[in-house]
Amino acid sequence: MSAGPGNWPDQLFETLKRGGIRQIGYVPDAGHSRLIERCRADREIRDVVLTTEEEGVALAAGAWLGGERAALLMQSSGVGNCINMLSLSRSCRFPLLMFITMRGEWEEFNPWQVPMGSIVEPVLELCEAAVYRVQAPDEVTGTAERALQHAFGDERIAAVILSQQLIGRKVWTK
């Protein structure tokens, strides 16, 4: 596999595989589409499409109770849907590894994305998450490895913010 800048979702997938992730909960986002595709095609990973992101927080807790590692994929707007359920992770110290694709922060066309996008990081920090921001493709693997270690080694919440700059702007006219 080439390590070109456009391949960061594949690198992220390989990192999750090496990290022993067996369940992926997600609400689809365009920025995660390649990663979701890879997870869905993988026989060892159970992909669980969610109706709302907070379901994934509970899914990951159940997975850990049963000895499996889960990861949760969402767009920045989904962080707001998780807040109360993060009490589960915090009260019980469940590992929670989140990958959040950003909207509303860079070359955003849709102003409705800005209110939640602008508070993702402080909200996560208030919820005692370790927040890791990725700006460039060559940072993805190393950052994901650190987040994996924090989440599962220390049984804590780790949130990797995949910046809008990394993902690229959404194309609105086709």
Partner 1 sequence: MKLERRAAMATLLADRGDDLLVVPGLGSTAWDAAAAGDNDRNFYLWGAMGGAAMIGLGLALAQPKKRVAVITGDGEMLMGMGALATIGIQKPRNLAVVVFDNGVYGETGMQPSHTQSGVDLISVARACGIGICLDVRDEAALADLAGRLKRLDEMLFARVLIAADEPPRVLPERDGVALKNRFRAAIGPNP
Number of residues that bind partner 1 (CB under 8 A): 32
| Residue environment code for 153-163, b if the CB has 16+ CB neighbours within 10 A, otherwise e | eeebbbbbbbb
State yes or no: residue 92 binds partner 1 (CB under 8 A): yes
Interaxial angle between packed helices 8-18 and 140-148, expressed in degrees from 0 to 180 and rounded to the nearest 10: 30
Task: By CB under 8 A, name the one of 63, 97, 148, 166 that touches partner 1.
Answer: 63
Interacting stretch for partner 1, rule CB under 8 A, among 52-60, 126-134, 146-154, 165-173?
A: 52-60
Contact between residue 104 and residue 76 where contact means Cβ atoms under 8 Å apart: yes
Interacting stretch for partner 1, rule CB under 8 A, among 1-9, 28-36, 44-52, 163-171?
A: 44-52
SS3 assignment, position 52: coil
Site for partner 1 in 71-90 (CB under 8 A): 84-85, 87-88
Report DSSP letters for 90-130, one per residue: HHHT--EEEEEE--SSSS-S-GGGHHHHTTHHHHHHHTT-E
Cα separation, 58 vs 85, in Å, equals: 7
CB of residue 25 to partner 1, shortest distance in Å: 8
State yes or no: residue 94 binds partner 1 (CB under 8 A): yes
State yes or no: residue 55 binds partner 1 (CB under 8 A): yes
> x/- site string to partner 1, residues 11 to 30, per CB under 8 A?
-----------xx-------
